[in-house]
Amino acid sequence: GAGVSQSPRYKVAKRGQDVALRCDPISGHVSLFWYQQALGQGPEFLTYFQNEAQLDKSGLPSDRFFAERPEGSVSTLKIQRTQQEDSAVYLCASSLVGGNEQFFGPGTRLTVL
Amino acid sequence: GENVEQHPSTLSVQEGDSAVIKCTYSDSASNYFPWYKQELGKGPQLIIDIRSNVGEKKDQRIAVTLNKTAKHFSLHITETQPEDSAVYFCAANQGTGTASKLTFGTGTRLQVTL
């Protein structure tokens, strides 16, 4: 079946631009996570949704980062006024309600020039 | 918060040999420990996981062991093949819902040579 999909796969932004990254979770998965993966590092948690409710945003690095999931399915991670340190791969994962297994999408590689 | 350490950072083995990757965690409340394989340009792929009520789990050539007392867990790959070459990440979390965010190790780059 279809897995987690993310778009765009690659995004190049000039410093100061706003970007929006999209995640389509596996159908029926209630939980959705965003992670940031810097080059050569493991993924780091950004934020967590259960349905449309954002229950944990403790990992968002600054108020320039904003995530939403208005209908409990597709989610968008928005970064305002991008900085060079925002360059990373942004990964989305989803899981069943009450489940531990998280399934990841292919990621969006963001490069800020 | 939870801290997961992973070693070695790189591992080179000959085809057919075994590979072992080790991780330690800091928070005794952690109870779920997945392992992910990440190939270049792709997202992490779940390959095996273990829960804290089990000491060992095996799936074909892959096995994971957990020592709760020592707070460490390991991935064992036997009869390695070139397609096993990738970066492997261990992770830990403390349950479901708001406790389900994963804390990852820093990764092990495994290279299987012919």
Mean pLDDT, chain A cut into blocks of 10 residues (113 residues total): 92 98 95 96 96 95 97 97 98 86 96 97
Do B89 and A41 lie within an 8 Å CB cutoff? no
Q: Residues of A numbered 24-63 whose beta carbons fall under 8 angstroms of chain B's beta carbons: which are they?
A: 31, 33, 35, 40-45, 48, 50, 55-56, 59
Task: Kindly provide the residue ranges of all beta strands, DSSP E only, lying in A4-64, ordered along the sequence.
Answer: 5-7, 10-13, 19-24, 31-37, 44-50, 53-56
Q: Per residue in B41-75, pLDDT tens? A: 999 999 999 998 889 999 999 999 999 999 999 99
Q: pLDDT tier at B24 (50, 70, 90 boundaries)?
A: very high
Q: Distance between CA B94 and CA A45 in Å, rounded?
A: 14
Calculate Rg over the CA atoms of chain A: 13
CA-CA distances (angstroms) from residue B98 to A48, A100, B23, B42, B101?
7, 11, 23, 26, 7
A interface test, pick of B10, B100, B104, B109 with most A CB neighbours within 10 Å: B100
The answer to whether the beta carbons of residues B33 and B27 sit under 8 Å apart is no
Q: Phi, psi (5° rounding) for residue A108?
A: -115, 125
Q: Which residues of B touch A55 (CB under 8 A)?
A: 97-98
Contacts with A35 from chain B: Cβ below 8 Å: 102
In this prediction, residue A98 carries a pLDDT of 67
pLDDT by residue (tens digit) across A80-94?
Answer: 999 999 999 999 999
Question: Which run of H or of E encompasses B108?
Answer: strand B108-113
Mean pLDDT over the full length of chain B: 95
Does the beta carbon of B34 lie under 8 angstroms from any beta carbon of chain A?
yes
B99 secondary structure, DSSP code: G
